Homo-oligomer: A and B are copies of this chain.
Amino acid sequence: MIKVAVDAFGGDYAPEQIVEGALQAAEFDGIGVILTGNEARLRSLINGKPGSDRIEIVHAPEVIQMDEAAEAVRTKTESSLVKAAQLVKEGHAGALVSAGSTGATMAASVLTIRRIKGVERPAITSLMPTRTGVALIVDVGANVDCKPSQLVQFAQMGSIYAENVLRVHRPRVGLLNIGHEPSKGNSVVREVYPLLREQDASLNFIGNIEGRDISRGDCDVVVCDGFVGNVVLKFAEGLADALFGMMKEEFTSSIPATLGALLLKPGLRRIKKKVDYTEYGGAPLLGVNGMVIIAHGGSNAKAICNAIRVAKQGAQQNIVQGIAERMAT
């Protein structure tokens, strides 16, 4: 059984939805959950619920708010987030899940769980839906000014994760650029291209990809610096919102339209499901000495449950060891 430490007070809908998601996850085979946070509150939330016997609680009196950044980790050492990270550090848990502040989760992980030896900078990832599945974007905000060697590591770490957790055979790794030719791009990516080409058979580098190739599903791992990745990620959210918003307006604008929308409901629901982050449960922070899943701030119970399952799988597949071995070569 793998125990997953869950920061019960991180996230827009904490602690209720986090606890609910933990209860759902605890019903799966091989998963144990340790919730961190105000013990009395957590007890009252799980009491009598099915699965509550597979949930442990570790008291943490402090809360790091969503708008707090890395610094909060140093001052709030009794927070639910830091406590959860400590459980991983000390070996009581095999993985950490938090839907709290991304910056704080990254900081707590780096300061407490520590970097894997040889990793220059850990990377925050995100799973983006594509026409054919999902693509893992590395990095989406941890590192805004990257050195070429860091981007090479993002490619290696992302590939290991995609292969072992996303179950993609020989994941196609693409370097996000403004053209397919090796000569394209800014000074950093132009340096990265030949470095990725030089990688041995362990990396399936398919070359440069353009923005439009992502949604088409042309690759499994998209490598970029955290500035570009963050802009693209948030832009995708905004554009999808805008398109669905426009549709909603049109679909309620007349009686025939409303009737049409009703007939299309199953199909529209399938599309929404495809682009719904709650299905994916969160994305890993790669490069730290423990399996850390950063869930979306707006995670509901289903998203948290999926995040815990993904965290368990990552721990089971020994992603950390895989990365450590890769860095040592």
Contact = CB atoms under 8 A, between A and B. Distances in A.
Interface of A: 130-131, 141, 144-145, 176-178, 185-187, 189, 210-216, 224-228, 230-243, 245-247, 250-251, 253-254, 256-257, 259-264, 266-268, 270-271, 274-275
A246 B247 CA distance: 14
Nearest to A230: B178
Contacts of A131: 242, 245-246
- Most chain B beta-carbon contacts within 10 A, residue among A215, A241, A257: A215
B263 A234 contact: no
Contact of A210 (B185, B234, B275): B234
A238 B212 contact: yes
A212 B232 contact: no
Contact of A235 (B177, B232, B247, B259): B232
Given A144-B186, A144-B187, 11 more contacts: A130-B242, A212-B234, A214-B235, A215-B238, A216-B241, A243-B243, A246-B271, A250-B267, A250-B270, A256-B263, A260-B260
B185 A227 contact: yes
Contacts of A230: 178, 211
Given A239-B239, A242-B131, A231 B178 contact: yes
A240 B241 contact: no
B226 A178 contact: yes
A186 B256 contact: no
A139 B47 CA distance: 57
A25 B109 CA distance: 61
B238 A239 contact: no
Contact of A227 (B186, B233, B267): B186
Kindly name the residue among A131, A211, A253 whose own CB sees the greatest number of chain B CB atoms within 10 A: A211
Contact of A257 (B144, B177, B239, B267): B267
Contacts of A261: 260, 264
B242 A239 contact: no
A183 to B, nearest CB: 10
A250 B238 contact: no
Contacts of A247: 267, 271
Contact of A264 (B186, B212, B214, B260): B260
A201 B119 CA distance: 47
B238 A211 contact: yes
Nearest to A262: B260
Contact of A238 (B177, B216, B237): B216
Contact of A214 (B213, B226, B238, B263): B238
A130 B242 CA distance: 8
Contacts of A216: 238, 241-242
Contact of A263 (B130, B185, B243, B260): B260
28 contacts: A141-B178, A144-B186, A144-B187, A145-B186, A177-B231, A178-B226, A178-B227, A186-B227, A210-B234, A211-B230, A211-B232, A211-B233, A211-B235, A213-B238, A214-B235, A214-B238, A215-B238, A215-B239, A216-B242, A228-B228, A228-B231, A231-B231, A256-B263, A260-B260, A260-B262, A260-B267, A263-B263, A264-B264
